[in-house]
């Protein structure tokens, strides 16, 4: 399969490119400098020349707090950029995979979100990613919308790497205990995308590692597993509330997503989040 990956130098993009190549696909990985998704003509030219069977659209504006004041840039990347990729994909006859987020929901549900629950984003980031979903659904006849959450991997900055560093530097840390979700290891997400894109089971998917935890519980697990592997963690972790850590963008209290589409389409579900975490820490440790 010929696969074009946008945002190929990002945290998820790098793992997607590596895994798809490993599986024998012909991959064109485009970083921001190689493909400006906000430029429609460039999207059409590059995608038309490569003639991919599938496009994995990882490129996005992901600075959640900055988006609150940088509204135009968030929409330029997440809405306009996604439209450009979707239009070019449709012209080339390619399948379109749009990576979306738990932030399209308001986070107030008492139960995990299913794929066809009503969206209600509360942050600019969430609204701009929802705009990308709508444009993908409107413009592509063969699309997969894949919502994920709490993503971490070997490349780039993420929560796990930050906690590992702080855990070795600080005597004490406070982490919120009133926001829950499902951590997602990029290597596991890439594997799911590689399985999904070879099907014609189009639609919306929730894709995260199985199970859920709060950020506080996630941090506890990071420290416990890191110590087992010989990391010198000295920090004591304390729970606190969201109110104690005000941020420009509102955070969902509940980001847990039910994998209804994975189950009903007979696809391989994700392993528990803690198993993914252990593998990631082993990779970091080397």
Query: Mean pLDDT over all residues of the chain?
Result: 97
**32-89: pLDDT as tens digits:** 999 999 999 999 999 999 999 999 999 999 999 999 999 999 999 999 999 999 999 9
Q: Residue 232: pLDDT band by 50, 70, 90 thresholds?
A: very high
User: Which residues are known catalytic residues?
Assistant: 125
Q: How many CA atoms lie within 13 A of 195 on its CB side?
A: 15
The confidence band for 257, taking pLDDT boundaries of 50, 70 and 90, is very high
The pLDDT-based confidence of 112 (bands split at 50, 70, 90) is very high
Per-residue pLDDT of 133-186, as tens digits, reads 999 999 999 999 999 999 999 999 999 999 999 999 999 999 999 999 999 999
Cβ(96)–Cβ(55) below 8 Å:
yes
pLDDT tens string 2-43: 999 999 999 999 999 999 999 999 999 999 999 999 999 999
pTM: 0.97
- 171 burial class (0-12, 13-18, 19+ CB within 10 angstroms)? exposed
Crossing angle of helices 11-22 and 186-196, in 10° steps, is: 50
At the top level of CATH, the class of 2-158+182-212+255-271 is alpha beta
Largest CA distance in the chain: 56
**Cα 76 from chain centroid (whole Å):** 19
Band of pLDDT at residue 245, cut at 50, 70 and 90: confident
Query: Which pLDDT score, from 0 to 100, does residue 286 have?
Result: 81
- Tell the burial category of 102 from Cβ atoms under 10 Å away from its Cβ (0-12, 13-18, 19+): buried
């Amino acid at each position: 399969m010929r696969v074009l990956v946008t945002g190929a130098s990002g945290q998820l993009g790098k793992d997607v490119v590596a895994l798809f190549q490993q599986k024998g696909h012909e991959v064109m990985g485009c970083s921001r400098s190689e493909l400006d998704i906000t430029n429609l003509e460039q999207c059409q030219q590059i995608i038309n020349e490569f003639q991919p069977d599938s496009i994995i659209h990882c490129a996005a504006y992901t600075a959640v707090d900055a988006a609150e004041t940088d509204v135009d840039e968030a929409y330029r990347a997440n809405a306009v950029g996604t439209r450009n990729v979707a239009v070019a994909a449709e012209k080339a006859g390619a399948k379109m995979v749009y990576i979306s987020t738990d932030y399209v929901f308001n986070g107030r549900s008492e139960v995990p979100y299913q794929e066809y629950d009503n969206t209600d984003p509360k942050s600019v980031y969430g609204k701009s990613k929802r705009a990308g979903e709508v444009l993908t659904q409107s413009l592509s006849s063969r699309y997969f919308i894949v919502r994920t959450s709490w993503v971490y991997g070997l490349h780039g900055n993420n929560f796990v790497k930050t906690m590992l560093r702080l855990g070795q530097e600080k005597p004490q840390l406070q982490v919120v205990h009133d926001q829950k979700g499902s951590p997602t290891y990029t290597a596991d997400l890439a594997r799911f995308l590689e399985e999904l894109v070879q099907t014609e089971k189009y639609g919306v998917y929730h894709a995260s590692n199985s199970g859920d935890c709060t950020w506080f519980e996630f941090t506890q697990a990071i420290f416990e597993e890191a110590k087992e592997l010989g990391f010198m963690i000295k920090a004591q972790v304390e729970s606190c509330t969201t109110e104690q850590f005000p941020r420009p963008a509102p955070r969902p209290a509940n980001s847990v997503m039910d994998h209804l589409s994975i189950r009903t389409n007979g696809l391989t579900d994700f392993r528990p989040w803690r198993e993914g975490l252990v593998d990631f820490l082993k990779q970091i440790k080397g």
